[in-house]
A = this chain, B = another copy of it.
Amino acid sequence: MKIIVDGMGGDNAPVETVKGTVDAVNEYDIDAIIVGKEQLIKEELNKYNYSTEKIQILNAENVISNDDDPALAIRRNKNSSLVVGLNALKDGLGDGFISAGSTGALLAGGLFIIKRIQGIDRAALTSVYPTSNGISLLVDAGANADCKPEYLRQFALMGTIYIENVLGKKNPKVGLVNIGTEEGKGNQLVKEAYELIKNENLNFVGNVEGRSLPLGEVDVIVCDGFVGNVVLKLTEGMAITIFSILKEAFMSNTKTKIGASLLKPELSEIKKLMDYREYGGAPLLGTELPIVKAHGSSDAYAIKNGIKQLISFIEKDIIKIIKNSLKQNITKMEE
């Protein structure tokens, strides 16, 4: 298996992207192509020990930044690491692509260069969502700010396939984010989506309120990309805020400092639960080839975990399973 890595994407590129790739190549049985400025990548690679035949460099002179207009950047910046990398994926040079660069540009590139699976209207950004009960999967985490009910049905389907096959949750519970648990609640979008998802062959448990998300009451959290992005960032923000308030309180005097020191291992364990770096990346679901978005502020550890997720995505042949499930649906509808 060969992974294509955007060496220049993200806040800590190329230092951390290269290190993360080397770590992944050393730890997992894979080869890698790192896309980016050859000289820079080479300098970074020279710092590490690895089987040199396992990592190639694919030169790309430019970088797409978060400030660039995504669709425009994809069309015009042909020499960017992101576009060169996605074209390499399309041409079969590797089996999957990972980038910590601009989310918008990666999405646009996924659609324009790699294309959508036939029968899927929108590709979704899928994020692992840490809960007190393990992990859930959030679809859509921000790719599609405006959705139609049918998109949400497809998110439910793809999310179920992903969590079942990659994360090994059998018969995952699907919940629709809503403002009440009763059927018939919500805005027009979720009311209609409810009816569509209900009729799917999924373990749909109905509506789920914001309150229940951190408790892990459902495995697949379905919502439009606007709500999903707010949910994801608010969850992160709440964790950061509460821990920073705690930290301040714990450092306030000698007594609290002693108390905090006695709790240190437990506190570290809890913080780790909420650390995005543990989960590595957000797979794009709905494109013809496997793509994973790594967090913009990824360090080497996060990149390595993102690559690990990409490896599962490829190995479990998620895209084929999605296609088959769509075929079954079409057959069912024709019967």
Contacts and interface: CB of A to CB of B under 8 A. Distances in A.
Given A179-B145, A179-B226, A259-B262, A239 B237 contact: no
Nearest to A249: B266
Copies of this chain in the oligomer: 2
Interface in A219-259: 224-227, 229-242, 244-246, 249-250, 252, 255-256, 258-259
Given A233-B210, A259-B259, A242 B238 contact: yes
A29 interface: no
Contact of A259 (B215, B230, B261): B261
Contacts of A252: 266
A219 to B, nearest CB: 16
A270 interface: yes
Contact of A211 (B236, B244, B267): B236
A146 interface: yes
Interface of A: 131-132, 142, 145-146, 177, 179, 186-188, 190, 209-215, 224-227, 229-242, 244-246, 249-250, 252, 255-256, 258-263, 266-267, 269-270, 273
The CB with the most chain B CB atoms within 10 A, among A131, A132, A214, A236, is that of: A214
A134 to B, nearest CB: 13
A299 B315 CA distance: 54
Given A179-B142, A237-B211, A238-B235, A249 B270 contact: yes
